[in-house]
Amino acid sequence: MTDDRRNVIDEFRNMTVEEIKGTLDTRRHTLQIAIENLERDFNMGTIVRNANAFNIDKVHVIGRRQWNKRGAMATDLYMNVEYHLTVADFLQAIKGRHLIGVDNIEGSKSLSKVSLPSDAVMVFGSEGSGLSKEIVDACEKIVAIEQFGSTRSVNVGVASGIAMYVWIQQHVLH
């Protein structure tokens, strides 16, 4: 490629997708994320794009395999994406890691006050219904992003970026 117009930083211009992914794989952070039962495809694409921006180790997709990748802006090509048909399959795949739910449900802890494990898997639910009871029951803890306005919640795509950044602050930028 001589005139690379992809949305990649200069270091990756004119490299193939395989070369970019290979380089990123050598630099990945230990955080993994999971997406459960999202109802809005745009949000899923945003979460995957955020995972790429923070060079997260792996993205787990629980449930339906099909999603609109346009919101990811092709960043999914550079990610390690693993699909799980059921919550049980997902839980088996992450055995030994700390599962942290991100949802503003009763009993959740303020994200700013929680120390996130380095080997965490942060799971995000759908925009409307949030995390399933099965996932909530499997989580070591549930964290919520503090808010100060009148809305009940921030968009799940936005929440994923905030939560990933807090993990990056605690484990990479310290």
The whole-model pTM stands at 0.92
pLDDT above 90 for 118: yes
Mean pLDDT for all residues in the chain: 91
Domain 29-171: state its class.
alpha beta
Q: Which residues pair with 100 in a beta bridge?
A: 122, 141
Q: What is the pLDDT of residue 81?
A: 94
**What string of DSSP letters covers 83-117?**
EESSHHHHHHHTTTSEEEEE---TTPEEGGG-PPP
Higher pLDDT, 2 or 97: 97
- pLDDT tens, position by position, 46-98: 999 999 999 999 999 998 766 666 666 778 888 999 999 999 999 999 999 99
The whole-angstrom separation of Cα 63 and Cα 85 is 5
Helix (H, G, I), strand (E, B) or coil at 50: helix
**Which single residue is written with the structure tokens 């499997």?**
138
pLDDT in tens, 129-163: 889 999 999 999 999 999 999 988 899 999 999 99
Structure confidence at residue 75 (pLDDT): 85
- Sort 101 into a burial class: Cβ within 10 Å, 0-12 / 13-18 / 19+: buried
Q: What is the mean pLDDT of residues 156-172?
A: 97
What pLDDT, on the 0 to 100 scale, is given for residue 1?
Answer: 47
Q: If you average pLDDT over residues 93-111, what whole number do you get? A: 97
Write down the domain spans for the chain: 29-171
Count of C-beta atoms within a 10 Å radius of residue 140: 12
Between CA 28 and CA 150 the distance in angstroms is 37
